[in-house]
Structure 1
Amino acid sequence: MEIREQDNCRIMFDPALLAEDPWRCFEPDFWQHQQAVLGSAKGRGTTWFVRGERVDMALRHYFRGGLFGKLVKDQYWFKTWSACRSMAEFSLLQHLVERGVRVPRPVAARVCKSGPYYRADLLTEKVPDATDLVARLQQGALSSEQWQLVGEMVRRMHDCRVNHTDLNAHNILLDSQEQIWLIDFDKCSIQRGDGWQEDNLSRLHRSLVKEVDKAGIHWQESDWQQLLSGYRRSSSD
């Protein structure tokens, strides 16, 4: 991993994954000029999917949500470099990758200071040919074995002591090989103690119940029991 600083900005990147200029790769215009934009997705901001020389990537700028986000769009209070949101998410993803949890590999993170505030960006490897769990369940039901694999991956994350504070059905992906991926680790952290694991599971359960009415997904309570079976089985492996 390399770290560079310039004009109140710090970047951290993996040179094995990023062949492009790390100072330019956080700007959508750079990728547009290279004709390397694969697509985009709208959320709190726009996530750009780009084709790099070594890997395809997702580029995200950090935006605030909620009422406060209407007043202060993308600035955060600076404490330390490592505590900045893109740097923290980069390090957490690296922690999970090294321990065999299937998450996007972190490619590069940027933090730019302006007085007591900062703005942040993150590049991660794009999960190839992946569909989020909601879209997948709109097409049809998962098998018992697939639900157990979801539970196993969540348990593997928990065994790394990672508290995913926004674990919902949109943050679980299935790729073309039916492998399970976990995404979106902004504001997540390594957590000690107990209790937060059940909170993660409860949040995921609520999101599945909600999507039955909202998105018409093929899901029932027996599927949840299969997920829990895989979660508990993984703990005894």
Structure 2
Amino acid sequence: MMMQERTHTDAEGAILFDADASPQVGHDWFAPDYWRGRGALRTQPGGRGGVAIVATLVGECVLRHYRRGGLVAALMGDRYLWTGADRTRPFAEFRLLAEIARLELPGPAVVAARYCRHGMFYSADLITRRIADARTLAECLAAGRLDGELAEEVGALVARFHRAGVWHADLNAHNVLVTPDGLHLIDFDRGRMRIPSVAWQEANLRRLRRSLLKLGAAAGSEATFEKAIWQPLLYRYGRTLKP
């Protein structure tokens, strides 16, 4: 899938957008209050990332404000060091998502990205199309819906991205979406294209495993988790990675 990439630059910062989705995207698109005033702000959950669901002219979208996590958040909040437009978090994620779409992988369709300059720093936002009727893998686990069949689907999903050389910086159960039509991988902040390598691919899988264990996937016993969930996931992963 190809897109028509355009950039609008002004004194405030710059917006990178898909002109095929919308011929014009202004700074107001990135302000939840703008959508609230039009009755188009669907939800605005709390937590890191400042995610809002908004009803735009191109359909329901996810508006995400970039925020730091951990100890750095107390010092930097939502500010990042400026090292050039093409190296900003939103522009890098926009272009990675565009490549994911070109490769026909199941990721979120990107609409627009923005940075705002603040001297030596910048703040940032990203708009992607909302994936309808989705639950996270973490939610499926909590609801008792993570079984061997779903685990195999997760393995196949991850393998497709790995085979294409897409590295996800934070592969965890919250970033895998399950829908009636299939699975999707989301949140590619800091992700990038890499030459396929067993080292980073296995590190990615270990990260996913830690996430599942942290969420209680081995509440019965780790041996049961290994047999019922993890081994089916790895089996399908291997079959898909090297068909």
Residue 153 of structure 1: aligned partner: 157
Paired letter, 1:191? R
Shift of 1:100: 1.7
For 2:208, what is the secondary structure of its paired residue?
helix
Q: In terms of mean alpha carbon deviation, does 20-29 or 87-96 score higher?
A: 20-29
Tell me how far 1:82 sits from its aligned partner. 1.1
The aligned amino acid for 1:233 is: R
- Within-5 A mapping of 1:56-135: 56-135=60-139
- Assess if the C-alpha contact under 8 Å between 2:136 and 2:178 holds in 1: yes
Provide the rounded CA distance (Å) in 1 between the counterparts of 2:90 and 2:128: 11
Counterpart Cα distance in 2 of 1:112 and 1:231: 40
Alignment of 1:116-195 (within 5 A): 116-177=120-181, 179-192=182-195, 194=197, 195=199
Q: State the distance in 1 between where 2:121 and 2:147 align.
A: 48
Alignment of 1:193-232 (within 5 A): 194=197, 195-212=199-216, 220-221=225-226, 222-232=228-238
Over residues 36-55 of structure 1, what are the superposed CA-to-partner deviations in whole Å (9 max), with x where a residue is unaligned? 11112222142100111222
Q: Secondary structure at the match of 1:66?
A: coil
Aligned pairs for 1:19-34 (under 5 A) are 21-34=25-38
1:71 shift after superposition: 1.6
Q: Check 1:119–1:214 CA distance in 2 against 1; reply closer, same or farther (3 A cut).
A: farther
Q: Go from structure 1 to structure 2 and tell me whether the alpha carbon gap of 1:38 and 1:149 turns closer, same or farther (over 3 Å shift).
A: same
- The change in CA–CA distance for 1:214 and 1:55 in structure 2 (over 3 A counts) is farther
Q: TM-score, normalised by structure 2?
A: 0.89
Unaligned runs of 5+ in 1: none
Structure 2 CA distance for aligned equivalents of residues 215 and 46 of structure 1: 31
CA gap 1:235/1:87 in 2 versus in 1, 3 angstroms: same
Q: Which runs of 5+ in 2 are unaligned?
A: none
Contact 2:162 2:241 in 1 (8 A): no
Moved more, 166-175 or 33-42: 33-42
Deviates more, 1:107-116 or 1:199-208: 107-116
Deviations 1:61-111 (A, max 9, x none): 111222221122111111121110011111111111111211111110001
- Using the aligned pairs only, state the percent identity: 37
